[in-house]
Amino acid sequence: MKFFVDTADVAAIRELNDLGMVDGVTTNPSLILKSGRNILEVTKEICDMVSGPVSAEVVASEAKEMIAEGLHLAQIAPNIAVKVPLTWDGLTACKALASEGHKVNVTLCFSPAQALLAAKAGASFISPFIGRLDDIHLDGLDLIEDIRVIYDNYDYRTEILAASIRSVNHVIDCAKIGADVVTAPPAIIKAMANHVLTDKGLEQFNSDWAKTGQKIL
């Protein structure tokens, strides 16, 4: 499974990237706002740091403007994936951008029907939002499973990029179902290393080692 980090925080991306934990990055207008930086500047810095796809999102609502914005964003770096919403205009923009060889991440997917349309429009990635479905008392993981079945049935090359990840369990469940990618905040990726029994074991080892009176260095 690929790990994308869902942030525009350059320091957080660098820390994870140095450990080999970053296969790509996703951003959106909310994350750009949180970074407090210019979208073109911070996106370029991220692209220079990360070798994998970096999603940069358009903000227009009509296809013509989305395409223009997408082409502009694609000029930032070769590893840009233009992010468009799953609307009819977004699908139109996806088709146009993909036809010109650009990677496209179709975002805000909430149904298998939407995912099927995105694949047919040539999306490189489909981003189903698990957590937001959970928020309205639907099981977001069911959506990942449905998309996996549909894509496998017809050998679609669009990668399932599980988004709106709220917990470590979300990551593990997506891996079990067969999502190609998860995009998660840095805190969740780092939390995957935590376990109470690991902490307990280290505490015991350190206590016993202290009793030996020895040093390694």
Task: Quote the pLDDT of residue 198.
Answer: 98
pLDDT mean across residues, the chain: 97
- CATH no. of 2-212: 3.20.20.70
Which residues, including other chains, have CB under 8 Å from residue 54's CB and lie 6 or more apart? Answer: 24, 25, 26, 27, 43, 46, 47, 77, 79, 80, 81
- At 190 the pLDDT is 97
**Alpha-carbon torsion, ordered 27, 30, 34, 38, to 10 deg:** 70
pLDDT per residue over 102-159, tens digit each? 999 999 999 999 999 999 999 999 999 999 999 999 999 999 999 999 999 999 999 9
* CA 67 to each of CA 22, 83, 114, 211: distance values in angstroms, whole numbers, following the listed order: 28, 11, 20, 67
Mean pLDDT, residues 15-31 taken together: 96
- In the residue annotation, 95 being an active-site residue is answered as no
Q: Hey, which residues does 81 pair with through a beta bridge? A: 55, 103
Give me the residues paired with residue 57 across strands.
Answer: 83
Indicate the pTM of the whole model.
0.95
Taking only the tens place, the pLDDT of each residue in 174-184 is 999 999 999 99
Selected catalytic residue, list 44, 83, 200, 215: 83
Q: What is the pLDDT of residue 73?
A: 97
Task: Name the residue ranges covered by the structural domains of the chain.
Answer: 2-212
Q: List pLDDT tens digits, range 59-83.
A: 999 999 999 999 999 999 999 999 9
Which tokens go with 181?
Answer: 């990618």
Looking at residue 210, what is its pLDDT?
96
